[in-house]
Amino acid sequence: MRKLLKRPDLGIIIGCLFIFALFTLYDPAQWFNWGTVSNIGEYTAILGLLAIGQSFVVLIREIDLSVGSVYGIVGIAFVGLENNNVSDVLAFVLAMLLALLVGLVNAALVIRGKLSSMIVTLGGLFFYRGLIYIITHGAVTGVPQAVRQNWFAQLLGGHSLRIQNGFLLLLILGFLCAVTLHETRFGNHLLALGGDPASAESRGVPLGKVRTIAFALCSLFAGLSAIVTLTNDPETSVSLGTGMELEAIAAVVVGGTLLTGGRGTMLGTILGSFFLTAVRSEIIALGAPPSWYVSFVGIALLTLVTINTLLLKRLRISG
Amino acid sequence: MITGSDGQSRPAGSPKKPLISIKNVGLSYGNFQALTDVSVDFYQGELVGLVGDNGAGKTTLIRIISGIIPPTSGEVYFDGERIIKFHPKKAIDLGLECIQQAIGLCDNLSVGRNYFLGREPVRRILGLPFLDKKKIREASAKVVHDFGLRDSVDVDDEIALLSGGEKQTFKIARAVTFRNRVIIMDEPTNHLSVRERTRVNELAVQLKQQGLLVIYITHDIFQIHRIADRIVILENGRKVTDVPRDAMSAEALEGIIRDGSRTSTKEPKVS
């Protein structure tokens, strides 16, 4: 029991149970509709993958504002390569290499350039978005019909037992990341760096290496999320991913990860993504204008962070 | 007491060869001379008090010994071997550990994870390395017990729950159990209660008795005079005194520090 109370993601676990009960009582017909579930699953996967990557960066006291634009440019590179008759697997590999490159550049600027990650990735947010406009001249075609039918696109964008493969991918990767975070040396170093960089360094933790991997993972997850999106929903535009960085950060924070680093879980991040997605879907289903969602994210963020802070304080006092 | 050819004293019975030897070391930051021509030897099994006012150069000297900064002039020898490349990792590998008040423990990690931070044991499952949590728990629980921390301390608890004195004791315990040869304590008793201070000082003496070299930095001459074998006083970057504990009273030593700071001009703080 004491262990459960100490979890940083306790707030979002309660939050998810709450909305689940609320929607079940309030709007069961819509809530248990397979179409709704499917939609929520799809978008939770997209947001969740972005947010898992972001979690690694937030856990080390940094932030990556470029993920929305990275999501856009990797997605558009993927589509562009496929439209130029590059095989889908190769297109995937090349697009992911682009994501990796962006992550490494971010890390290098933060570590070697000694710049704040907020500045570096804010620059990235504008730079990569601008690059999309320059390369595409504003016109983007979707994933070709033929490509959508073959096994690779189906693997990422299809269904297994009526469940979206993207959602299954989120669960698998989320589990692997959680194990990495809590059961490996790298995870321990990452948490130590997030908790107290000077102390971690004094114990011989290779800070530069850990930071580099965190930024690389963040960009890779953003790229993967874009590709999952496009294999699912092939229509796209130059604004692909705009604003997604803030949603991903909101999901991470709502999920109980501290922006000050060192405390958080992957389960919380996934539940945070589910929470925001489910409520968005329900707000629309109830007939409210979709724009209300934006305000809702703000309210949810403040409420859950307040709950988390109160829980943390109580925990500190009770020991 | 033997007086070496270099005019420095060392405790009788200790091996002739110093473990750490500092020869004519100087360090300047731009125009500011933080250390000037400092020579001092440290022997195994010795507890040396490194004393001086703020800005005397104590911390600068320790930063050189711990490999954080290279000196601008002079030589440093460890176990007879001259140190050419200065790097913290190298100092750690040589068995030197510096215990500082504010650094060394990550508050968000458990006691066990802090104990092994940087040298986590792993076990392989399907060829992949995972943290060996059982070993982490058992080894750290043993240390918590051996060093007389509260029985209520659970090694799975976050280290933030420990008191200042317990944290300090834990850091010392960690330094000892990883078979270090040199323990440097940088103002280890600041902000500690009287009882905790006594405990930390007892530990420093025990370490020395186990054959380690303990360099204890403080500006409290009365406290260190009770436990040290030898006292080295730095003043404005120069070594002004290097005497066995019995050779001078704490009052006399305090006089040296006091008079030194009276005659000195104000220098920017570097320590």
Nearest to A204 among B89, B105, B122 (CB): B89
Per the domain annotation, does A2 fall within a domain?
no
Distances (CA, A) of A240 to A72, A115, A222, B70, B265: 5, 27, 12, 52, 65
Quick check: A106 pLDDT over 50?
Answer: yes
Is the Cβ pair B120, A204 closer than 8 Å?
A: no
- Domain check: are B163 and B190 in the same one? no
Q: Which of B132, B149, B180 is the last residue of a domain?
A: B180
* B120 CA: distance to closest CA in chain A (Å): 6
Is the CB of A202 less than 8 angstroms away from the CB of B113? no
The count of domains in chain A is 1
Q: How far is B110 from chain A (nearest CA, A)?
A: 10
- A183, B122: Cβ pair inside 8 Å? no
The helix (H) or strand (E) run that includes residue B27 is strand B20-29
Q: Domain of A269: which CATH number?
A: 1.10.3470
> What range defines the domain where residue A248 resides?
8-318
The residue from B160, B180, B200 where one domain ends is B180
pLDDT band at A101 (very low <50, low <70, confident <90, very high): very high
DSSP class of residue A86? Answer: -
pLDDT of the residue at A306: 85
Same domain, B175 and B124: yes
Chain A residue with the nearest C-alpha to that of B174: A203
Q: Where are the alpha helices (DSSP H) in A112-205?
A: 117-136, 145-149, 151-157, 165-183, 185-195, 197-202
User: What per-residue confidence (pLDDT) applies to A110?
Assistant: 93
In this predicted model, what pLDDT tens digit does every residue of B178-201 receive, in sequence order? 778 899 988 888 777 888 788 888
Residue of B nearest to A206 (CA): B118
* pLDDT the model gives residue A1: 59
Nearest chain A Cα distance for residue B91, angstroms: 11
Q: What is the pLDDT of residue A299?
A: 84
**Residue B208 and residue B225 in one domain:** yes
| Structural domain of B153 | 107-180
Whether residue B220 sits in one domain with residue B206: yes
Whether residue B131 and residue A184 make contact (CB cut-off 8 A), yes or no, is yes
Same domain, yes or no, for B4 and B85? yes
Per-residue pLDDT tens listing for chain B (271 residues): 444 444 455 555 545 688 888 889 999 888 888 888 889 999 988 999 998 887 788 888 888 888 878 888 888 998 888 888 887 777 878 888 888 877 888 888 888 898 888 888 888 888 888 988 888 888 888 888 877 777 777 888 888 888 888 888 888 888 878 778 899 988 888 777 888 788 888 888 988 888 889 999 988 888 888 888 999 988 888 888 888 888 878 788 888 877 765 544 444 445 4
Give the rounded percent of residues in chain A with a pLDDT score beyond 90. 40
| Residue A315 confidence (pLDDT) | 64
What value, to the nearest 5°, has the Cα angle with vertex A40 and ends A37 and A46? Answer: 140
Same-domain check for residues B259 and B200: yes
B173 to chain A nearest CA, in Å? 14
Residues of chain A neighbouring B103 (CB-CB closer than 8 A): 196, 198-199, 202
> Would you state the pLDDT for residue A319?
45
Tell me what pLDDT residue B5 has: 43
C-alpha distance from A114 to closest chain B C-alpha (Å): 19
Binned at pLDDT 50, 70 and 90, residue A316 comes out as low
**Where do the H-state alpha helices sit in chain B?**
58-65, 88-93, 111-116, 133-146, 164-177, 194-209, 221-227, 250-263
Say whether residue A315 is in contact with chain B using an 8 A CB cutoff.
Answer: no
Q: List A residues 87-126 in contact with B (Cβ-Cβ < 8 A).
A: none
pTM for this prediction:
0.83
Write the CATH number for B200.
Answer: 3.40.50.300
Beta carbons of A188 and B103 less than 8 Å apart: no
Q: Does A319 touch chain B (CB under 8 A)?
A: yes
Residues B175, B216, single domain; the answer is no
In a domain, B59, yes or no: yes
Q: How confident is the model at residue A127 (pLDDT cuts 50, 70, 90)?
A: very high
Of A186, A309, A205, A318, the residue nearest A259 (C-alpha)? A309
Tell whether B102 is covered by a domain: no
Strands in B121-255 per DSSP E: 122-125, 128-131, 182-186, 213-218, 230-235, 238-244
Give the pLDDT confidence of A142-197 residue by residue, as tens digits: 777 666 777 777 777 777 777 788 899 999 999 999 999 999 999 999 999 999 98
Q: How far is A317 from chain B (nearest CA, A)?
A: 10
For residue B220, being part of any structural domain is answered with yes
User: What residues in A contact B104, CB-CB < 8 Å?
Assistant: 199, 202-203
A with B: how many residue pairs have Cβ under 8 Å apart? 68
| In a shared domain, residues B157 and B224 | no
Q: Do B126 and B176 reside in the same domain of the chain?
A: yes
Q: Amino acid identity of B194?
A: V
- Per the prediction, chain A carries an average pLDDT of 86
pLDDT at B261: 53
Q: Are residues B70 and B91 in the same domain?
A: yes
A2 inside 8 A of chain B by CB: no
B227 and B171 in a single domain? The answer is no
| Domain end (from B128, B151, B180) | B180
Same domain? B77 vs B190: yes
Amino acid making up residue A59? L
pLDDT at A62 over 70: yes
When divided into structural domains, chain B yields a total of 2
Would you tell me which residues 197-226 of chain A have a C-beta closer than 8 angstroms to some C-beta of chain B?
198-200, 202-205
- Which DSSP state fits B187? S
Any B CB within 8 A of A196 CB: yes
B130/A184 CB distance under 8 A: yes
Q: What pLDDT, on the 0 to 100 scale, is given for residue B1?
A: 42
